[in-house]
A and B are shown apart, each in its own frame.
Chain A
């Protein structure tokens, strides 16, 4: 009995030690990837594990017994059940939780993102931003998943929301600029009456239209003649200028008036949208007088283009697109909301 016990403890001691080191390295890797911290640099630990394993293997092959005895004493407590327990203990969280990492691209860019379960849009939403340290990316930790993965809806400010699959172990890492589509922008272009109204202190209001329902998504008072860019900051493609030129020429404007108008339109007043603009959304934009009477209006259903160019038309009635009486509230509220100028 006494003679067989040491033999059992030295049996496969090198293998057990190697498995422990592998466990440590693996846990370290997982922590680093999914929680953002670990004991050390994963590379260093991996190199140590590999080096020790190789040395022990070579010694065993050479028939040297001293190191084996030394290791046997050191790891006498490490029996197989304990190893199994350690592996099972970390395997459970590793297959049930993962992470989503959003890289700052380019480095230093401010990020704001939210993550919700795709099958429960109204469920709990995780929101993160890196405004305090724009050099860091964003990491959603402890994202619950399953061995076969789980779907999430990831929204990053400035990009279209996207449904992503989050798998255990690997998690998800993405670069917005590479992996996401920028959210859409709409350029509303008022004509002469709308431009004058805006310069006279009128305001612009944009709604999202869903059937009879209308949701205000942006308001602003440029206090100057301007086109209105709702959504992301977006460079205006020079090809549009020529279209505008033809459009104005067809309206019998003189060349100097055309040039002047294009200069105004190409320097838009930007309005942040309360919701990201997505394809198939129907938007209505309206230029209103200081008293809230509609002057110019445009309705557009968004396509896939990053920038939708919408000319506005004079309003012939005094009701809003949905038949509601036009109110002063939108214009009056524009001041209260502190819309960017």
Chain B
């Protein structure tokens, strides 16, 4: 017989170990900027930490502005975006210095390790390797500017797509095509349509569980009124299966064959992100309508 005290302790441990994001709360990602270029760092000497700090502020600002579907911070988090500039082992006489970005760490909910591809952005081409670094402030500004000029679509597709933005969601319709609603409004993520998502969908059947990885397109907001359950989904982003490739017909048929109540979204990832042109704070949330092409049927 487990005592009441033990139950309380177990409950407390569970709450700490499995942080659950509330709806609309974006996952946080710690950004670590590592000014690794060996000779640049040696030349900067004691100014190197200051340059790192200043550059990190600029990078955080850029990421939070350009990819606001995640919350980037310098505070320790289980998900880490590592931004390395240059190589700690140096290179040839004149070599290119570039940014290398990758995600590592663990998913705080599932506890699984996060692994992404690596994106490389040029900071200085080989021909400019020997250009003066200038003042520490100037160098930090140069780093920030170069980072802004990187291919952020590529960053999302290859790196940030490894970080789940949610671990829940709802399959609101299954016919004629499945429609999922994720726990964010358009304003939460500052997401313009269409953007592409990846959903890990788990199906519970009498014979066991099956999961599918589905590429979907966020193309509207859920606006139907009626039941209490549906009201809680008001204005949330909805998504429908993306056009192939890849061919998802088998997975979609499987999803359609199971009642929505047996469907569970395990994780949602952003594959392709389009930011709203307007400031997100200026967004006028549509109410009671389902907008966007192809969804909300």
Contact = CB atoms under 8 A, between A and B. Distances in A.
Given A196-B133, A289-B45, A291-B45, A254 B127 contact: yes
Contacts of A289: 42-43, 45
A275 interface: no
Contacts of B282: none
B23 to A, nearest CB: 51
Given A191-B93, A253-B93, A291 B46 contact: yes
Given A195-B130, A254-B127, A295 B94 contact: no
Contacts of A248: 93
B109 interface: no
B134 A251 contact: no
Contact of A295 (B42, B92, B127, B129): B42
Contacts of A310: none
Contacts, number: 53
B132 A199 contact: yes
Q: How many A residues touch the partner, as a band?
A: 20 to 34
Contacts of A253: 93-94
Interface string B108-136: 00000000000000000011011111100
Contacts of B42: 289, 293, 295
Interface string A180-203: 000000000001110111011010
B127 A197 contact: no
Interface string B68-98: 0000000000000000000000101110000
B39 A193 contact: yes
A257 interface: yes
B127 A257 contact: yes
Main SS class of interface, B: loop
Given A191-B93, A248-B93, A253-B93, A196 B131 contact: yes
A192 B130 CA distance: 5
Contacts of A200: 43, 132-134
Nearest to B47: A291
Interface residues of B, number: 17
B94 A257 contact: yes
A195 B133 CA distance: 11
A245 interface: no
Which of A200, A253, A256, A314 counts the most chain B CB atoms within 10 A? Answer: A200
A314 B127 CA distance: 19
Given A251-B92, A293-B45, A225 B130 contact: yes
A177 B45 CA distance: 47
Given A254-B127, A256-B127, A257-B127, A196 B94 contact: no
Contacts of A196: 43, 129-133
Given A257-B94, A289-B45, A314 B39 contact: yes
Contacts of B127: 254, 256-257
Contacts of B134: 200
B93 A251 contact: yes
A199 B128 CA distance: 13
Interface string A203-243: 00000000000000000000001000000000000000000
Which of B45, B93, B126, B134 counts the most chain A CB atoms within 10 A? Answer: B93
Nearest to B95: A192
A252 B134 CA distance: 27
A266 interface: no
Given A197-B43, A254-B127, 12 more contacts: A196-B132, A196-B133, A200-B134, A251-B93, A254-B126, A257-B94, A289-B45, A291-B46, A293-B42, A293-B45, A295-B39, A295-B42
Sorted nearest first, the 9 A-B pairs with minimum C-beta distance are A192-B130, A291-B45, A199-B132, A251-B93, A193-B39, A196-B130, A200-B132, A289-B43, A195-B130
Interface of A: 191-193, 195-197, 199-200, 202, 225, 248, 251-254, 256-257, 289-291, 293, 295, 314
9 contacts: A192-B94, A196-B131, A197-B43, A251-B94, A253-B93, A257-B94, A289-B42, A314-B39, A314-B90
Interface of B: 39, 42-43, 45-46, 90, 92-94, 126-127, 129-134
